[in-house]
Chain A
Amino acid sequence: MGLTYQSSGKGALREDYLNYNVKGDYVIALAGNPNTGKSTVFNALTGLKQHTGNWPGKTVVQALGNYKHGQKQITLVDLPGTYSLLANSPEEQVARDFICFAEPDATVVVVDATCLERNLNLVLQVLEITHKTIVCLNLMDEARRKKIRIDVPALANQLGVPVIPTAARNGEGLTLLKDTINSVAADKTELTPMRLIYDASLEVAIRELAEELDPLLPPQINRRWIALRLIDGDYTVIDGIRKFLEKKMVKEVFAS
C-alpha cells in the first residue's frame, strides 16, 4: 500500500526537531536575523531566562519554553539567528528545516525595526516557506529614538501577514503579539502572503518541478519552495524531505 499523508498526524517531525514531546496546543517558532531580540522576546513570553547579549550569535543552542495564553498552552522555540534561510551554515539549516518540516503552527520572525530592509530579506524568505507567519517588529524603542518611522499598517498590508510592533525589553506590544500568535495558529487570521515572482524562465522551471513534486509531498509542504531550493542546488533540503517521508512511513506502518 502506498503512502497517504492524510492518515498521519501533523508535525510528525516535531519531536525529532525538538527532542521533546510536545503536549501543548501550539508550537511556535521564533526566527530572525542575529541580535534582533529573539531571546528577549522568548524570555518575555515564557518567563524563562535564556541568555541574551548584544552580539550576533549569542544563542547557539535551540531553546524551548512554554506559556499559556487565552486558554492555550503554547510551546515556543527560540531558533538561532540567521541572515538568510538559504542553508549556507548549520544554523541556517536548522532554522529552515524547523520552519519547513516541523510544521510549527506559526512562525514569528523577529525583526530589527532600525534596519528593516535587511530584515525584510529574511521575512520574505520565511514567507516563501510558510504563510503562517507573524512579523514581530522589535526594537521599536530604538527606532523611535533614531527617529525612524515605520508605516506598520502599510507594511502588514504589503506583506499580507500581521506585523506587531514591540519593544520586548520593556514588554511593549507583547500582549498583542500573544493574541496574534493564537489567532494565526488557530487559522483565524486571514493571510495573503506576498509572493515573490522571479523572471519568466525561472518561473517556468519552478512550476514544472513543483508539478512533478506534487504527488511525492504531503499537502502542507510548499512545493514551489522545494522546487526553488532544488534549482538553487541546495540539496540539503532533500535530507529534510527524506527524513520527513521516512517518519511518515513509520507512522503509516504502525497505524495499519
Chain B
Amino acid sequence: MTDSAQFADLTKIVKKASEYGQTQGDGVRDQIVSHIYGEAERLAATVVTCSNQRTDWDRKVDNIITSRLLGYPLMLALLGAVFWVTISGANVPSEMLANFLFGIEEWLSVLFISAGAPDWLHGVVVLGTYRGLAWVVAVMLPPMAIFFPIFTMLEDLGYLPRVAFNLDHAFKRVGAHGKQALTMSMGFGCNAAGVIAARIIDSPRERLIAILTNNFVPCNGRFPALIAISMIFVAGGVFSAYGTLAASAMVVVMVLIGISVTLAVSWLLSKTFLKGEPSSFTLELPPYRKPQIIPVIVRSLFDRTAFVLARAVIVAAPAGALTWVFANIYIGDLSIIGHVAGWLEPFGRAIGLDGVIILAFILGMPANEIVVPIMVMSYLSAGAMFEFDSLLAFRELLLAQNWTLLTALNFMLFSLLHFPCGTTLLTIRKETGSLKWTILAAVIPTVIAILVCFSIAQGVRLFNLL
C-alpha cells in the first residue's frame, strides 16, 4: 500500500465516522462524557467513605474574603500590608548591604590607585561596573527577598484565585478575562513570566489583551525603584513609622493606577484592535492549603537572590561600565551622555522629567533594574564624589538635579507605564508569534506613559500645584 493510499483510506474513515457522529448530534459527546463521569461516580462511591462532619473552614474564610462588604477593602489592605512589611523590613538589610558593598568599593579604589592603574581602568571597573552591580544588589535584593516569600505564601495558601474571583466582574466589563488577574499577579515577579502565564486564558483575543497589558504591573525590576523614590519624596528620605506607612500607601496607589490603566487599555483594545465578546469564564477555587512556611522562605530567598545576582552580573555590570564610558568620553566640552541628555532635555521637561531620566529609561530597556543606576551615574558624570550608601545621599543628589515632587511623581508613573523591558518583549514575540503585536506591546504603554506624564506636568505647571 502506498502512503497516499493510506491517507486516502484515513480520509474515508474520517468521513464515515463523522457521518455516524452527525446522525447523533451533540448526543455522542453527551453520551460519552456522561458515561465516563457515571462510571467515575460509581467507582468513587464504592471505594470512598467519608465521615461527613467537616466544619468547612474554607467556606467560612471565603465568606469574609469574598464578601460584598469586605471583599475589596481586604484585598487593598492586604496589598498595603505586604508593601509595608517589605519596605520596613528591607530598610535595615539594605543599609547594611550598601555599607558593605560601597565599603568594598572604597577598598577597590584604594587598591587600583595604589597599584598605579590608569584612571580609565579604575573608572570602568570600579566606578562603572562595580557600582552598577553594587547598587542593583543593595537596592533590589532586600525588598525582593521579603516581598517574594510573602507573595509565594499567599500563592500557596490559595489566595490568588480568590483575587481573580473578586475582580472578574471588572475584567468582564472591559471585555477581558478574569484570569487576567492571575497573569497580573505573576507579573509582580516578572512581566515575562506574566506574559507566559497568559496561556491559562483559552480565548486568543483575551490572552492577547492580558499579554499587551501585563506591563502595567510593576515587576521585580521596577518595584524597588518605586519604593526608593516613594521613601525619598513621600517619606522625606528618613525611616519613621509614619514615613514607611506613607511610602507603602504611595506604592499601593501606583499599583492601583496600574490596575486602572490595565482595565482602561483592555477596554480600549476590546473596542478596537481586539474587538469581541467576552468568552466563557470558568475558574476553580481550590481549597486553602497551609503554606510550607520554612521551605517557601528558603526557596524564594534562594531563588530571588540567585535571580537578582544573575541579573546584576548579566545586565547591571555591563550597563554600569558602558554608562561610565559614555559619561566620560567627551565631545567638545560635553560627555556623550551630556549631549544625548541635552538633546532629550526639552522632551523630558515637557513631560515633567528631564533628559537624563529619559535616557536612563531608554538605556534601561534591557532590564528595568538598571534605570536608576544609569540615571545616577549620568547625574554624577565625570566621577563626582558621592556617598552612594544612604537614601538621604540619594535624596540630596536628586534635589541637586532639580528634582521636585512633580519629577518624582512622573518618574514613578513613567516607570509604571512605559514600554516593557527587552526580555518581556522577546517573550511577547515568542508567545504571540507576531511582530505586529510585539510592536504594539511597546508602543501602547509608551504612548500612555507620555500622555499621562505630559498632562500631569502641564496641569501642575498651569495651576502651580506641587
In-complex Cβ contact of B39 among A114, A124, A147 (8 A)? A124
Chain B: CB-nearest residue to A208: B16
In-complex Cβ contact of B46 among A55, A154, A194 (8 A)? A154
Separation of A55 and B182 alpha carbons in the complex (Å): 9
- B279-305 interface code vs A (CB 8 A; 1 in, 0 out): 000011011110010000001000100
Q: Is the CB of B286 within 8 A of A124?
A: no
List the one stretch of B28-36, B97-105, B213-221, B404-412 in contact with chain A. B28-36
Chain B hits for A194, CB < 8 A: 39
List the one stretch of A17-25, A56-64, A71-79 in contact with chain B. A56-64
Chain A: CB-nearest residue to B40: A120
Q: Is the CB of B47 within 8 A of A158?
A: yes
User: A13-63: which have CB < 8 Å to B?
Assistant: 34-35, 49, 52-57, 60-61
Chain B: CB-nearest residue to A199: B31
Separation of A88 and B25 alpha carbons in the complex (Å): 17
Q: Is the CB of B37 within 8 A of A54?
A: no
Q: Is the CB of B44 within 8 A of A120?
A: yes
Separation of A150 and B303 alpha carbons in the complex (Å): 38
Q: Is the CB of B14 within 8 A of A116?
A: no
Q: Does B168 contact A (CB under 8 A)?
A: no
Q: Does B156 contact A (CB under 8 A)?
A: yes
Q: Is the CB of B21 within 8 A of A196?
A: no
Q: Is the CB of A202 within 8 A of B28?
A: yes
Q: Is the CB of B158 within 8 A of A54?
A: yes
Chain A contact residues: helix, strand, loop or mixed: helix
What's the least CB distance linking A52 to chain B, in Å? Answer: 8
Q: Is the CB of A155 within 8 A of B47?
A: yes
Chain A hits for B202, CB < 8 A: 89-90
Q: Is the CB of A54 within 8 A of B196?
A: no
Q: What is the size, in residues, of chain B's interface with A at 8 Å between Cβ atoms?
A: 60
Q: Is the CB of B200 within 8 A of A57?
A: yes
Q: Is the CB of B158 within 8 A of A216?
A: no
Chain B: CB-nearest residue to A52: B156
Q: Which of A89, A90, A231, A241 has the most CB of B within 10 A?
A: A231
Chain B: CB-nearest residue to A119: B40
Chain B hits for A119, CB < 8 A: 40
What's the least CB distance linking A66 to chain B, in Å? Answer: 21
Q: Does A148 contact B (CB under 8 A)?
A: yes
Q: Is the CB of B40 within 8 A of A117?
A: yes
Q: Is the CB of A230 within 8 A of B18?
A: yes
A35-B286, A117-B43, A230-B17 are known; give 13 further A-B pairs, CB within 8 A: A35-B284, A117-B40, A124-B39, A124-B40, A147-B54, A155-B47, A196-B36, A202-B28, A202-B31, A212-B9, A213-B13, A216-B9, A231-B21
> Could you write out 22 A-B pairs with CB less than 8 Å apart?
A54-B288, A57-B200, A60-B199, A84-B33, A120-B39, A120-B43, A121-B36, A124-B39, A142-B289, A150-B47, A159-B43, A202-B28, A209-B16, A215-B9, A216-B13, A227-B17, A231-B21, A231-B28, A232-B32, A238-B10, A242-B10, A245-B7
